[in-house]
C-alpha cells in the first residue's frame, strides 16, 4: 500500500503522535484559568506558539492558532479586508489559489468588493510584473500561495511581496503546501498554514499577522488567541503541530533531496512509459515531493480506482473526480490537458521501491482504461512545444470545405469528446477542419491540448445551439 497524496493530508508524523500523547494529560485545561492545570496548559500553549513562530519566521505575539488552515485563511482575509475598508474593497488573488482563498475572495466580492484573478502561465506561476499590474489604489488585500497544491509550482512570493510593499498593499501568503519545507521569504504581511499538511494533527492552522499590519477580527467577540480566533484552543493538537513542524524542518533538506530525486524519476519515466502524457507544472521551480501529469483518452476517476486497487492512493484534478464535473480551476487557469489527471505527492519516508512499483503499475492501468473506453491507438511520443500554438484569429464562420465535418459529443463526458475527435480525425482532409460539439467543461481544455500533442491547429470555439463548437484544422 502506498499513500501518494500527502498534499491532501499527510499521515501523522511520529513526533506529532508523541507530542500529542504526552500533552493529553497536561493540555486539556483552560489556559485562561488561574489554577495549576490552567497555568500548565498556558505554558504548553505559549511554548508551542514560540516554536511555531520560530519556524514561520515571525514573533510569537504575531502568531495565533486556528482550528484549520481554512479558518486561518478566512480569518486572515476578513480581518485584513475590514481593517482597510477605507482604502477600498478590491482583492487580488492568483487564479490558482486554494479554494479557501478563492471562496473568501468571492465572499468579499459578493459583499460589495471587487476581485482580480491574476492569470498564470502554462507552468502555473504568476509573473511578478503581471501581479503588480493588478494592484490598484483601492486594493485592500493581495493573496498569493507560496506553492501550488495541485501542480507543485512555486510562486514568486518574494518579488510579489516586494511589489505589494512598494504599493502599500498587505500580502497574505497561503503557505499550506510549503511551510514544512521552509519559511516564506520576502516582506509578506500575513501568512497562513495548516498542520495536517506537514504531518501535524488535523484541527490546527496558523495565522501570522506582522506587527504594523492593520487587522480587525470579524465575527462575534471572543477573548482567546488575541481576539482573532474564537473557541477553546486544542492545546494537545497545537503542541503536536508545533513539535512536528520543527521535526519536519530538521529533516527538510535531506527529505527534499531524496523525494526530489523520486519526483525527477517520475517526471522522466512517465512520459517514456505511458504514451500521450502531459507532465504539468514548472519542472524546476516546484515543491520537491509533488508531480502532476495528465493522460490523454483517460477517465481520471476510473484511473484513480484502478491505481487504488493496485495499492496507490493519488488524487486528480480531472472533471470526473469533482462534484461539479468541471476540471480543477488550477488546470483550467494553466490551460493544460485535464483528462486522466494524476497528482502524486510523496509523504516523507517514501522509498524508491514504492515509486518504482508505481511506475511499473501505471502503464498497464492507463492502457486498461483506454481499452475500456475504446480509445484510438496512441501516436508516438513527441516533445511538447514550450508554448501552445496561438489560435487562429476570429474563428468566425467555418472555412469552406466540401463537407465540413461535425462530431456531436453532446451529453458525453470527458474524455469521450476528445476520443470521438481522434477517431474521425483520420478522415479529415489535410487543411480541412473538424468541429466537435460538446457541453462538457473539460473539452475547452482538452481539445486544444490534444491539438498541441498531435501537432494540429486549434482554430477556436464558438457558442452552438447546445454546448460549444470547438474547431480543429488538420495540418498533417
Question: Which are the catalytic amino acids?
Answer: 320
Sign of CA dihedral 430, 431, 435, 441: positive
Helix (H, G, I), strand (E, B) or coil at 65: strand
What is the helix (H) or strand (E) element at residue 436, kind and residue range?
A: strand 433-438
- Whether the CB-CB separation of 296 and 450 falls below 8 Å is answered with yes
CA distance 51 to 240: 11
* Closest CB 460 distance from a copy of itself, rounded Å: 32
CA distance 222 to 87: 27
* Closest CB 17 distance from a copy of itself, rounded Å: 6
Asked if 348 interacts with a copy of itself (CB under 8 A), we say no
* Closest CB 21 distance from a copy of itself, rounded Å: 7
- Whether the CB-CB separation of 93 and 287 falls below 8 Å is answered with no
Among the listed residues 128, 152, 205, 281, the single contact to a copy of itself using CB under 8 A: 205
**Closer CB to a copy of itself, residue 194 or residue 433?**
194
Asked if 33 interacts with a copy of itself (CB under 8 A), we say yes
- Whether the CB-CB separation of 365 and 303 falls below 8 Å is answered with yes
Among the listed residues 38, 260, 271, 391, the single contact to a copy of itself using CB under 8 A: 38
- Whether the CB-CB separation of 172 and 192 falls below 8 Å is answered with yes
- Whether the CB-CB separation of 96 and 130 falls below 8 Å is answered with no
Among the listed residues 94, 100, 116, 244, the single contact to a copy of itself using CB under 8 A: 100
What is the helix (H) or strand (E) element at residue 297, kind and residue range?
A: none
Among the listed residues 47, 60, 95, 106, the single contact to a copy of itself using CB under 8 A: 106
Provide the H-helix boundaries in 84-127: 99-110
Sign of CA dihedral 200, 56, 255, 271: positive
Q: Determine the angle formed by the axes of helices 99-110 and 69-83, rounding to 10 degrees.
A: 30
Which one of 234-242, 275-283, 328-336, 408-416 is the stretch in contact with a copy of itself (CB under 8 A)?
234-242
**Closer CB to a copy of itself, residue 343 or residue 454?**
343
Asked if 107 interacts with a copy of itself (CB under 8 A), we say yes
**DSSP-derived secondary structure letter, 7:** T
Asked if 230 interacts with a copy of itself (CB under 8 A), we say yes
* Closest CB 76 distance from a copy of itself, rounded Å: 12
Q: Which of 394, 375, 398 has its CA nearest to residue 446? A: 375
Which one of 63-71, 288-296, 397-405, 449-457 is the stretch in contact with a copy of itself (CB under 8 A)?
63-71
* Closest CB 166 distance from a copy of itself, rounded Å: 29
Which one of 31-39, 128-136, 395-403, 434-442 is the stretch in contact with a copy of itself (CB under 8 A)?
31-39
Residues of this chain that interact with a copy of itself (CB under 8 A) are 1, 3, 5, 8-12, 17, 20-21, 24-25, 27-30, 33-38, 67-71, 74, 99-100, 103-104, 106-107, 194, 196, 201-203, 205, 219-223, 230-237, 301, 304-305, 307-308, 312-315, 321, 323
Amino acid at each position: 500500500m502506498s499513500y501518494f497524496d500527502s498534499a491532501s493530508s499527510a499521515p501523522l508524523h511520529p513526533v506529532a503522535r508523541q507530542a500529542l500523547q504526552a500533552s493529553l494529560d497536561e493540555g486539556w485545561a483552560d489556559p485562561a484559568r488561574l489554577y495549576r492545570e490552567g497555568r500548565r496548559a498556558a505554558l504548553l500553549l505559549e511554548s508551542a506558539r514560540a516554536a511555531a513562530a520560530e519556524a514561520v519566521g515571525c514573533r510569537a505575539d504575531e502568531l495565533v492558532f486556528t482550528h484549520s488552515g481554512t479558518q486561518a485563511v478566512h480569518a486572515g482575509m476578513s480581518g485584513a479586508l475590514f481593517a482597510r475598508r477605507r482604502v477600498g474593497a478590491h482583492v487580488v488573488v492568483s487564479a490558482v489559489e486554494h479554494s479557501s482563498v478563492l471562496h473568501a475572495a468571492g465572499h468579499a466580492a459578493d459583499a460589495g468588493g471587487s476581485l482580480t484573478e491574476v492569470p498564470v502561465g502554462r507552468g502555473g506561476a504568476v509573473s511578478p510584473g503581471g501581479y503588480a499590474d493588478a494592484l490598484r489604489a483601492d486594493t485592500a488585500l493581495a493573496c498569493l500561495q507560496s506553492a501550488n497544491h495541485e501542480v507543485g509550482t512555486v510562486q514568486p512570493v518574494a518579488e510579489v511581496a516586494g511589489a505589494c510593499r512598494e504599493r502599500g498593499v498587505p500580502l497574505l501568503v497561503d503557505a499550506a503546501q510549503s511551510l514544512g519545507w521552509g519559511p516564506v521569504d520576502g516582506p509578506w504581511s500575513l501568512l497562513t498554514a495548516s498542520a495536517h499538511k506537514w504531518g501535524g494533527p488535523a484541527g490546527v492552522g496558523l495565522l501570522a499577522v506582522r506587527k504594523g499590519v492593520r487587522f480587525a477580527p470579524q465575527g462575534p467577540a471572543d477573548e482567546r488567541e488575541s481576539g482573532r480566533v474564537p473557541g477553546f484552543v486544542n492545546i494537545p493538537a497545537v503542541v503536536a503541530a508545533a513539535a512536528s513542524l520543527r521535526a519536519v524542518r530538521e529533516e527538510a533538506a535531506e527529505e527534499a533531496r531524496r523525494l526530489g530525486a523520486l519526483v525527477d524519476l517520475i517526471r522522466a519515466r512517465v512520459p517514456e512509459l505511458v504514451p500521450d502524457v502531459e507532465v504539468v507544472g514548472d519542472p524546476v521551480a516546484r515543491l520537491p515531493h509533488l508531480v502532476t501529469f495528465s493522460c490523454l483518452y483517460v477517465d481520471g476517476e476510473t484511473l484513480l480506482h484502478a491505481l487504488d486497487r493496485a495499492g496507490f492512493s493519488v488524487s486528480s484534478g480531472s472533471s470526473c473526480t469533482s462534484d461539479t464535473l468541471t476540471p480543477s480551476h488550477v488546470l483550467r487557469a494553466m490551460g493544460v490537458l485535464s483528462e486522466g489527471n494524476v497528482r502524486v505527492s510523496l509523504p516523507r519516508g517514501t522509498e524508491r521501491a514504492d515509486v518504482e512499483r508505481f511506475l511499473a503499475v501505471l502503464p498497464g492501468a492507463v492502457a486498461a482504461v483506454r481499452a475500456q473506453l475504446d480509445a484510438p491507438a496512441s501516436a508516438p511520443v513527441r516533445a511538447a512545444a514550450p508554448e501552445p500554438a496561438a489560435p487562429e484569429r476570429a474563428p468566425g464562420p467555418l472555412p469552406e470545405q466540401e463537407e465540413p465535418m461535425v462530431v456531436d459529443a453532446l451529453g458525453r463526458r470527458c474524455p469521450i469528446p476528445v476520443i470521438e475527435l481522434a477517431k474521425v480525425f483520420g478522415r479529415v482532409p489535410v487543411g480541412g477542419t473538424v468541429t466537435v460539439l460538446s457541453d462538457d467543461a473539460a473539452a475547452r481544455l482538452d481539445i486544444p491540448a490534444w491539438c498541441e500533442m498531435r501537432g494540429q491547429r486549434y482554430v477556436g470555439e464558438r457558442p452552438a445551439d447546445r454546448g460549444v463548437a470547438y474547431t480543429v484544422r488538420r495540418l498533417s
